[in-house]
């Protein structure tokens, strides 16, 4: 009887023990599931923040590209106006050169006309001198004849009477002397008129020459004005060409900026697409436990070195946070499974691309605090939870700030 009661108590105790164990297992599983769900939620939340940042960056890049395109269009319009202005200046310059050619031809003709006029004046001076000489000679001859005739009247009349055969012939001689005196007077008057005509012609020639000199001075003044206009137009044309060259350089610069923005947009689109893919993976997958991870021999040295490169000048908490991000990525379902793969993943850690990490590894730059942070991060310590990203602060990025980094 006693044995049966003892068996019943043992069976009851065993059942209670089994039930307790089962309950504990259920609670552990539930807690594990909760942790997994929480970890997954954290990952999805971090990825969502990253997606928002990338979307904002893509939006800003698109706005900046549009601004560059508008600036390029404005520069292009200005360049077209400058080219039209230069074309107008070239037309003006061509017309001014044609005017200058006509002016030079006019000057050459005026100078030739002046040269001919000077020759005519010189000839007129000679003709006037000759007319004066002939007039004076005629006047002198006439005076001599008159003087001779009146100084010896008796002799002449006597000679005439003696030589005349009749009174009628004598009278004819008297008429002859009178006619001769009239002829001399007529010739003298004619020579005087010739002198006056030649003198008037000389005066007119000089007046014509003065008018030609005035015309030449006016044309030369016009030539100087056109010459100034030509030089001014050439300067404007050269300035317009310089401005066009500058505008073309600005266009090339804007085209380069637009190309860079296009490339940046394409990369942001790829990053956004990848981030969305990672987010979807995070929804479907769970994180690994740190106990399931086996670290390689060089992981501690590599982790301490990347901590040195990224946060060597940061406070210890900043160093530990960087190490925690690396470990979080290794445990997450959307990043590689080893420290080496996480650190050397393309376009993730800038010291890798710049060569600073390689230099730190080669020269053993990591400090004691960097090794301590690496050890604690590899042991599961994290001052920033399960975040997967960090960077220098920029507008639009929210998260936990430690030193000069924001972790999100």
Q: With 90 as the cut, is the pLDDT of residue 27 above it?
A: no
**Cα separation of 128 and 232, whole Å?**
52
What is the number of residues in the chain? 408
Q: Residue 323: which H helix or E strand, with range?
A: helix 316-331
pLDDT (0 to 100) of residue 224: 93
Lowest mean pLDDT among 15-29, 201-215, 350-364: 15-29
405 forms beta bridges with 402
> pLDDT-based confidence at 56, cuts 50/70/90?
confident
Q: Residue 304: which H helix or E strand, with range?
A: helix 299-311
Sheet holding 400-402, edge to edge: 390-391, 405-407, 400-402
CATH architecture of 288-408: Orthogonal Bundle (1.10)
pLDDT (0 to 100) of residue 378: 94
**Cα separation of 25 and 28, whole Å?**
5
pLDDT (0 to 100) of residue 9: 55
DSSP 148-211: HHHHSHHHHHHHHHHH-SSHHHHHHHHHHHHHHHHHHHHHHHHHHHHHHHHHHHHHHHHHHHHH
Q: What is the number of other CB atoms lying within 10 angstroms of the CB of residue 172?
A: 12
**Cα separation of 405 and 408, whole Å?**
10
Locate CATH 1.10.287.2610 in the chain.
Answer: 83-256
The percentage of the chain sitting over the pLDDT mark of 70, rounded to a whole number, equals 74
Phi, psi of 402 (to 5 degrees): -135, 115
pLDDT (0 to 100) of residue 150: 55
Residues 6+ apart with CB under 8 A from 190: none
Give pLDDT tens digits for 382-398. 999 988 889 888 776 67
**Cα separation of 308 and 314, whole Å?**
9
**Cα separation of 277 and 287, whole Å?**
16
pLDDT (0 to 100) of residue 30: 39
Q: Could you tell me which of 314, 339, 279 has the C-alpha nearest to residue 43?
A: 279
Give pLDDT tens digits for 297-315. 899 999 999 999 999 999 9
Who wins on pLDDT, 209 or 3? Answer: 209
Top CATH class, 83-256? mainly alpha
Tell me the pTM.
0.47
**Cβ contact 314:402 at 8 Å:** yes
Locate CATH 1.10.10.2520 in the chain.
Answer: 288-408
What value does the mean pLDDT take over residues 349-357? 94
Average model confidence (pLDDT) across the chain: 80
């Amino acid at each position: 009887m006693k044995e049966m009661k003892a068996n019943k108590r043992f069976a009851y105790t065993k059942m209670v023990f089994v039930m307790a164990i089962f309950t504990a297992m259920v609670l552990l599983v539930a807690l594990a599931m909760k942790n997994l769900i929480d970890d997954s939620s954290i990952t999805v939340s971090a990825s969502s923040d990253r997606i928002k940042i990338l979307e904002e960056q893509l939006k800003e890049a698109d706005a900046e590209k549009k601004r560059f395109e508008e600036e390029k269009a404005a520069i292009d319009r200005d360049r077209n106006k400058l080219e039209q202005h230069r074309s107008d200046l070239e037309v003006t310059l061509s017309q001014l050169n044609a005017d200058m050619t006509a002016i030079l031809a006019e000057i050459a003709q005026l100078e030739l006309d002046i040269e001919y006029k000077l020759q005519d004046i010189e000839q007129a001076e000679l003709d006037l001198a000759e007319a004066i000489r002939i007039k004076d000679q005629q006047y002198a001859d006439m005076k001599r004849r008159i003087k001779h005739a009146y100084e010896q009247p008796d002799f002449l009349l006597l000679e005439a009477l003696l030589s005349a055969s009749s009174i009628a012939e004598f009278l004819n001689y008297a008429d002859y002397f009178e006619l001769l005196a009239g002829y001399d007077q007529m010739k003298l008057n004619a020579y005087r008129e010739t002198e006056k005509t030649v003198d008037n012609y000389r005066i007119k020639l000089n007046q014509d020459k003065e008018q030609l000199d005035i015309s030449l001075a006016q044309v030369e003044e016009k030539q100087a004005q056109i010459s100034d206009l030509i030089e001014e137009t050439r300067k404007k044309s050269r300035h317009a060409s310089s401005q066009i060259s500058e505008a073309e350089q600005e266009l090339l610069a804007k085209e380069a900026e637009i190309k860079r923005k296009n490339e940046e947009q394409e990369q942001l689109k790829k990053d956004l697409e990848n981030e969305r893919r990672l987010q979807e993976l995070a929804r479907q997958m769970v994180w690994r436990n740190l106990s399931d991870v086996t670290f390689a021999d060089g992981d501690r040295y590599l982790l301490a070195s990347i901590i040195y490169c990224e946060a060597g000048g940061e406070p210890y908490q900043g160093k530990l946070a960087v190490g925690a991000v690396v470990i979080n990525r290794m445990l997450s379902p959307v990043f590689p499974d080893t420290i080496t793969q996480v650190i050397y993943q393309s376009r993730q850690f800038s010291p890798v691309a710049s060569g600073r990490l390689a230099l730190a590894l080669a020269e053993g730059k990591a400090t004691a605090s960097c090794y301590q942070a690496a050890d604690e991060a590899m042991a599961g310590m994290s001052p920033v939870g399960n975040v997967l990203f960090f960077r220098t602060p920029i507008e639009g990025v929210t998260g936990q700030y430690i030193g000069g980094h924001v972790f999100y």
